[in-house]
Structure 1
């Protein structure tokens, strides 16, 4: 399967060849020698079609090895004689998408590392440290506290729960992701979590807004531009609403009326198209929406990467100190009480 990064390479290469007025077939064949994975045979097949004399737009439309959205987008650029600009817009928006995804993944990495280390430390304490403390407390106490019995049971069943807990969490997360998650994404299972899902929604909405503005700049008809940009959205409901609006526009329904009547479209798009009619303000508004959503996505990703790890460290440290104080000073307090009670 060809991923977004590979499609960006293909779009960039096609843009360079088009701007240089170079033959696309030989150029793609030469570039494919530098590529790996599924992109290489796809580029070679496309080059064969072009060398056989097939028109560029037809060669792209019949390239079944390429994703349908990419084929439609490139073909739309050919019909408007702005193919290089359309491909550049696609490359730019996709790079932004990949950059924001990488930022989000980095933000998720640090909390995950802290949680894994905390779980490993918990296993170490229950296996090696707490049983000795529980034995000492049992000797000093007439009635051992409840946590002593808990530690003994946890230590006895350690071979079972130490691997069963992470396995159960993994299975439950996959079930939630595949059964209930409507927002599958390139970061996989993380997209099932509400906060992460909202960040993903901002990332993809920003990319779609930027791409839509660029397509309108390239004089791509609004219905087609909406259909192409809408594929970047994460919500299936939003994609269906945008496609329905595009169908309404093809039937002659004004954009203001279509966006007002159709529920499910991105709220910021809806507000913009209901308010503005001219192409210039629409493009400027879409670029502003893209910037705002990208900024919000970066801020939320930074929260994941900075604030949440700090809170986790504080919580883990506080629990550790509290547990240590209970284990160490609890028996001493009881011993002092027993000494003070003697006549």
Structure 2
């Protein structure tokens, strides 16, 4: 066992801080994971500064309930992570920064790779520099399991080679390295969190689970998907949010990358069958060639080694896949108007 291999703890206790009264910035706060993290921070007593992308049409999105409350513990700051000055202002006075803002979605990265570099790499540099200048207690930077590419060894530990199999994953690798460079060069207290496939209520239609459920709840008799053979490690969104907080309190994770995943994998084909069951519907699963990734870009297998998160921060997933799929199915059935089930979302 080398020096970097964590020793499993017999009965780990999840790392935590007293978040009461702490001012915390969440970039990408309106997003799927970001809004779940805001909910958790508010429940722990934090004062949340939500950095959101400016939208001239005034959509309040996932934070609407906070914006309607005149006594809300959430302050909204609109801007763009590509704007260094705006980011610098948003970070001022913050104890902790959770950086989730990113341009996501693999298919669109084939069409506009430069936009991914600007938002994900340059945006991360702006956030890291602002955290350094304002001497924040901790920066938690969000990565993705996509940086690993197709697994060479399983389960995938943080020592696995990084493989840029799409412009999106390449931009996230660049962002991770930019964040970690500030630890090495400037001693910025930063941790890189690598969630595997997070799912749950509020996830956008571009992800596979909402894609399947929206088709099912719209009454489709045939569910159209891309490749059915790749495997993924799915983590329910509240577990991922808990992992962010646990790692923000974990000094051993400073300057390191840490996976958040269940350690269990399921093929997309078997996942589709499980969703048919969870939804109570009946449908045939078909491959739609328009949804296939380029052959060299398809990540065939992702399953996490979560030893660091368990041993260093005492984190472990609590929501089973069956329970999480049922909860997600119920939410999508109640919010079907948000999804265009007959159109492929890139």
Report the TM range for the smaller structure's normalisation.
under 0.3
Name whichever structure is richer in strand by fraction. Answer: 2
Q: TM-score, normalised by structure 1?
A: 0.23
Name whichever structure is richer in helix by fraction. Answer: 1
Bigger radius of gyration, 1 or 2?
1
Q: TM-score, normalised by structure 2?
A: 0.23
